Amino acid sequence: MRTMDTSASLCLASKLRSLGADAGDLDMVLHAVKGRARVAAGTDVVRAGDIVEHLTLLIGGMACSYKWSEDGGRSIRVFHHAGDFCDLYQYVLPECDSAIGVQALTDAVVAVINHRDMDQLLRRPKLALAFWRATMLEAAIYRKRLTTASRRSALERVSHLLCEQLARSEAAGIRCARLPISQIDVADATGISVVHVNRTIQTLRSLKALSEESHLEVIDRKLLAQVAKFDGRYLDMPRHLSGWAVRVE
């Protein structure tokens, strides 16, 4: 394994294993992963509009997929955590939605898998299913957000978003209550105005769910989850597949 360091193979391996891949599968994937690189916070990992010939893999740090809407606003579709594939959809549906960009929220580490190599990897049925599941997991996130987005109050939406990111960053092995997300990011991800996001966050602070500091730091996860009506099971699929112990909150 010259092309990958330990942390990289660790986060990718645990992810794929949890999706049902076996040891042989993992080995093939790790051999296909190329071009590890550092990206500074705030810069684009995948530029909107580029035609990509490879799949981008987020090894470390946090990023977001966004799109510019007609009216000039940025809309964030989803956040990415260590181990996530940033543009799997580009491989599955080439030429579709190439206007999506991926931006690093923190200093990040990325790697790539060429689409040509993906073709080979998918000849392994279990691996194909694992990749399929990865996209389904993302779809489950969209579905969940869809119901929360159109039906719930700003307080619920914001706290649900925070719960989701916290749960996912934990699933990626990072246990940190502070999220590297600005209030503007929250606004762009929820569709709520920045001003109202600010007031909402202040409400969460007064409830003692978030810290008083100006960055986003969760101090009472249980309360936050309660406010958000957060039920993380929709993210737990990997745990089920891999037969891990059910999480005890």
Partner DNA sequence: CGTGCTGTTGAGGACGATCAATGACGGTGG
Partner DNA sequence: CCACCGTCATTGATCGTCCTCAACAGCACG
- DSSP readout, 177-244? SEE---HHHHHHHHT--HHHHHHHHHHHHHTTSB-SSSSEEBS-HHHHHHHHT--GGGG-HHHHHHTP
Spell out, one character per residue from 76 to 95, where the chain touches its own copies: x when CB under 8 A holds, - when not. -x-----------x--xxxx
Our finding on whether 154 is near DNA (CB under 7 A) is yes
Q: Which two tokens stand for residue 98?
A: 């190439």
Our finding on whether 141 is near DNA (CB under 7 A) is no
Contact 62, 76 (CB under 8 A): no
Binds its own copies (CB under 8 A): choice among 29, 32, 59, 137: 137
> Taking the complex as a whole, how short is the minimal distance between the CB of residue 101 and DNA, in angstroms?
15
Binding partner of residue 203 among its own copies, DNA, none, CB cut-off 5 to 8 Å per kind: none
Our finding on whether 194 is near its own copies (CB under 8 A) is no
Nearest-angstrom CA–CA distance, 27 and 239: 21
> Taking the complex as a whole, how short is the minimal distance between the CB of residue 107 and DNA, in angstroms?
13
Binds DNA (CB under 7 A): choice among 14, 114, 198, 226: 198
The helix/strand/coil state of 172 is: coil
Beta strands at 63-68 and 101-104: parallel, antiparallel or unpaired: antiparallel
Binds DNA (CB under 7 A): choice among 153, 178, 231, 247: 153
Spell out, one character per residue from 208 to 227, where the chain touches DNA: x when CB under 7 A holds, - when not. ------xx------------
> Taking the complex as a whole, how short is the minimal distance between the CB of residue 67 and DNA, in angstroms?
17
Of 80 and 157, which has the nearer Cβ to DNA?
157
> Taking the complex as a whole, how short is the minimal distance between the CB of residue 187 and DNA, in angstroms?
8
Place of tokens 């705030």: 42
Q: How far is CA 158 from CA 155, 185, 189, 234, 239, in A?
A: 5, 11, 9, 18, 26
Binding partner of residue 143 among DNA, its own copies, none, CB cut-off 5 to 8 Å per kind: its own copies
Of 6 and 150, which has the nearer Cβ to DNA?
150
Binding partner of residue 184 among DNA, its own copies, none, CB cut-off 5 to 8 Å per kind: DNA
Q: Which two tokens stand for residue 242?
A: 């891999």
> Taking the complex as a whole, how short is the minimal distance between the CB of residue 4 and its own copies, in angstroms?
25
Q: Report, in angstroms and rounded to the nearest whole number, the Rg of the chain calculated over CA atoms.
A: 18
Our finding on whether 192 is near DNA (CB under 7 A) is yes
φ, ψ (nearest 5 deg) of residue 46 = -120, 125
The helix/strand/coil state of 88 is: helix
Our finding on whether 40 is near DNA (CB under 7 A) is no
Contact 204, 196 (CB under 8 A): no
Binding interface with DNA (CB under 7 A): 153-155, 182-184, 191-196, 198-199, 201-202, 214-215
